[in-house]
Amino acid sequence: MENEFSFALGPLEIGASLITTWGIMLVITAIAWFSTRHLDMLPGALQTTVEGIVDAIDEAISAVAPEHGRQIMPFIATLWLFLIIANLVGLIPELHSPTRDLSVTSALAVVVFFSVHWFGIKTLGLKHYLHHYLTPSPILLPFHIISEFTRTLALAIRLFGNMMSLEMAAMLILLVAGFLAPIPILMLHIIEALVQAYIFGMLALIYLAGAMQSQQLNSQE
């Protein structure tokens, strides 16, 4: 896939997707810093909005992993916020969603992959965590390993495919219909971008909760 802008940094080529990703990270950091500088008992509009978003994310996490909500809240909340902004940034003229780049979605999927094992080992220890791959029978070990890699691959391809097809469909419709139907296309893009961000984040949450909770059950047996 061609990048609209890129430059070389030694042997590395920095493309548009990476630059946009860095920009999104800076935006999230700036918003987090600015919105938490002065927390008041009587919150203003910005603090109220941020608190509402945090409460909504916390409720979603608590519904899936009530015993580990506080532990995984920072990771899942950051992932969700990044994905929402990354999916919607394509609405800005001259910019494209970095999640339409397979390298970006693959990186996100790899982060989820390692996070699942990190939280599982951190919560219950290496011995109890690895025991999961040998239950109910050691014969299933290869299948457990394959499932870990296939679901990671599915995470990357699902988000990439949906965002790429979304931008291509919007471009084709605009080429055919011109600007006669900009609002429906815009609404379709927003809804689909939010849905894809939610699905990716929810799958990551389910993987984390499944690893941590299943290991807990095994350790108690």
Sketch the domain layout of the chain as residue ranges: 7-220
Structure tokens at 43: 């919150």
- Which H or E run includes 202? helix 182-220
Using H for helix, E for strand and C for coil, what is the string for 35-77?
A: HCCCCCCCCCHHHHHHHHHHHHHHHHHHHHCCCCHHHHHHHHH
pLDDT score of 78: 94
Q: At what angle do helices 102-124 and 16-35 cross, to 10 degrees?
A: 50
CB atoms within 10 A of CB 174: 14
- Listed in order, strand segments (DSSP E) in the chain are 7-9, 12-14
Output helix, strand, coil percentages for the chain, rounded to the nearest 5.
80, 5, 15
Query: Across the 221 residues of the chain, what is the mean pLDDT of every consecutive 10-residue run?
Result: 56 80 93 81 78 91 87 93 92 85 94 93 84 80 90 94 84 68 75 93 92 57 47
- The answer to whether 118 and 211 are in contact (CB under 8 A) is no
In this prediction the pTM is 0.84
